[in-house]
Amino acid sequence: MANESWDVVIVGAGTGGLNLGSLLAAAGKRVLVLERQGHIGGRSISARHENTVLENGIHGLILSGHQDEVYRRIGKTLPPNANVWKSSQILLDGEWRDFESLLAGSLDELERVLADAVYDRTYDEIRALSDISVERFVAERTDDAATLAWFRYMGWLYGGTKYPPTDMSAGSLFCTFKRRADNDPSGKLEDLGYMVAGGSGAISPPLAEAILENGGEIRTHTQVDKVVIEDGRVRGVNVECQERVIPTQVVDTEFIEAPVVVAAVPLWQILGVVSEDDLPPWYVDRIQFLSKKVLNTWTMTYLMDSKPPFEETELMCVPKGSSSGRPWVAAVLPYAEVEGQYAVTCFFYTGWYEPPSTFEAARASVRGQIREKFDLFEADIRDAFPEIEANCLWKTRSVGTSSILENPGNVGPHLLSMVPEGVDGLFLVGERTQEAEIQGIYGSAQVALQCAERILKP
């Protein structure tokens, strides 16, 4: 017997769950969002720390228009842009080169390859490139060094870990490009990403407000034990309803009824809320396969008390760190609150195939490897920009699983659909389903828009 009944229960109050919840609540559905942690926003949170904003992970948002569209539909205003990255410099043969000058003689060639990759292709034609790497696609079409350098940089910046980006899917990168170009009045790729005022954590509160204003509810500190599925149909969820007095306690659960349940958790957490007994075996196998194919983002954040050696609108790319051998980028974050102070971020990516795995950080040996990796990254940063460390008031290190690595073979049609196989009334909107053509927050907004349409259709 259920104690309560809702139209839709959403598991997880990350931006995926909040985007969808706000759309459904605004459309008249009675929505309950259940979140096991004490805060909303999931991985997309920002903390105020010693005169600046410290991001849990986010570095840049992709201007594809989807998050703006969610806000428009719920009658809210997206926090304003704090900064847009407009240009990049790259360290080639020991010399910093800006892409504008690097590409000066190659603009026609770049446009030709971009037209072939993005502008002249439909989305379906781009998706058909999912199993080819960016490197292969571009190398087969041009031998112009500057054009190659530009695509290599983009293939890495948008989430490949290799340089050249042999592990970044051409279909995936070019879908992101096309979404961005379609959202730009010029129809071209005019910027590289942006940050909202207050940090990415500022995106969630208005979404939560819309849920509450429209009769919905958000319960934090509420762990969903499992989605209840009977005869291939969702019935609701079981939630833990007791505080643990002792750590080994198996707590009681209670049933909340709902004809529609949405697992708004990342792919690698789905089996934590949906039992594999309720899904087809091949589908469970796919979840398990994809759950391992993650991308980790490593960040050093510094607060400097003098101006960094680059501008706020610039990204500075080192394709091969002097100690780590890895590509990385440095940028200014527009969040420092005191005149004369500057927040700087430097970030690196690692893929599922290289240790250490953040999923195994409970092991002391793995934590040791994580610290060693950061030591290498810091040595890279000291070598390229000694003034950052010399003029920093404090620094922090952070690493987390940011998404599924967009390898050829892991993305596009290989991802799971937001409508899972074999269960009526169950939807997936967490990072990352087939319907998300862009990574991160904007991807979660894109899926939420489609999922809301599907749930609301008569």
Ligand X SMILES: Cc1cc2nc3c(=O)[nH]c(=O)nc-3n(C[C@H](O)[C@H](O)[C@H](O)COP(=O)(O)OP(=O)(O)OC[C@H]3O[C@@H](n4cnc5c(N)ncnc54)[C@H](O)[C@@H]3O)c2cc1C
Rank residues 39 and 48 by Cβ distance to ligand X and give the closer one.
39
DSSP 119: I
Contact between 224 and ligand X (CB under 6 A)? yes
Contacting residue, 402, 407, 410, 450, with ligand X by CB under 6 A: 402
Cross-strand pairs, 81: 196
Name residues contacting ligand X, limited to 4-43 (CB under 6 A): 11-17, 34-37, 42-43
When asked if residue 266 is in the footprint of ligand X (CB under 6 A), the reply is yes
Strand partners, 34: 11, 219
State phi, psi for 242 to the nearest 5 degrees.
-130, 150
From the number of C-beta atoms within 10 Å of its C-beta (0-12, 13-18, 19+), residue 185 rates as exposed
Task: State which of residues 26, 129, 273, 445 lies at the interface with ligand X (CB under 6 A).
Answer: 273
Task: Return the C-alpha torsion angle 297, 301, 307, 310, nearest 10.
Answer: -10
Least distance (Å) from ligand X to the CB of residue 324?
17
- Assign 121 to helix, strand or coil: coil
Q: What share of the chain is helix, strand, coil (3-state, %, to 5)?
A: 35, 25, 40
- 58 scored as a contact of ligand X (CB under 6 A): yes
Binding of residue 297 to ligand X (CB under 6 A): yes
Contact with ligand X (CB under 6 A) among 223, 238, 322, 391: 223
Cα–Cα distance for residue pair 458/444, rounded to 1 Å: 24
Site residue total, ligand X (CB under 6 A) = 39
In angstroms, the CA 174 to CA 121 distance is: 9
- Cα angle: 161, vertex 296, 268; to 5 degrees: 120
Nearer to ligand X by Cβ, of 138 and 203: the residue is: 203
Dihedral, CA of residue 311, residue 314, residue 320 and residue 323, to nearest 10: 40
Please state the separation of Cα 30 from the chain's center in Å. 28
In whole angstroms, how close is the CB of 439 to ligand X at the nearest point? Answer: 6
Residue 332 within binding range of ligand X, rule CB under 6 A: no
Name which of 223 and 369 has its Cβ closer to ligand X.
Answer: 223
The reply on whether position 404 binds ligand X by CB under 6 A is no
Asked whether position 211 contacts ligand X by CB under 6 A, the answer is no
Residue carrying structure tokens 């948002």: 61
User: Residue 356, interface with ligand X (CB under 6 A)?
Assistant: no
Question: From the list 22, 53, 57, 412, which residue makes contact with ligand X (rule: CB under 6 A)?
Answer: 57
Nearest approach in angstroms of CB 8 to ligand X is 15
Q: Per rule CB under 6 A, is residue 269 in the interface with ligand X? A: yes
Nearer to ligand X, 227 or 381 (CB): 227
**What SS3 class is residue 289?**
helix
Member of 10, 20, 23, 44 binding ligand X (CB under 6 A): 44
Q: How far is the CB of 80 from ligand X (least distance, A)?
A: 17
The backbone torsions φ and ψ at residue 161, rounded to the nearest 5 degrees and listed phi first, read -110, -15
Q: How far is the CB of 16 from ligand X (least distance, A)?
A: 3
Q: Provide the terminal-to-terminal Cα distance of the chain, rounded to the nearest Å.
A: 28
Chain residues binding ligand X by CB under 6 A are: 11-17, 34-37, 42-44, 57-61, 223-224, 264-266, 269, 272-273, 297, 400-403, 430-431, 439-442, 444
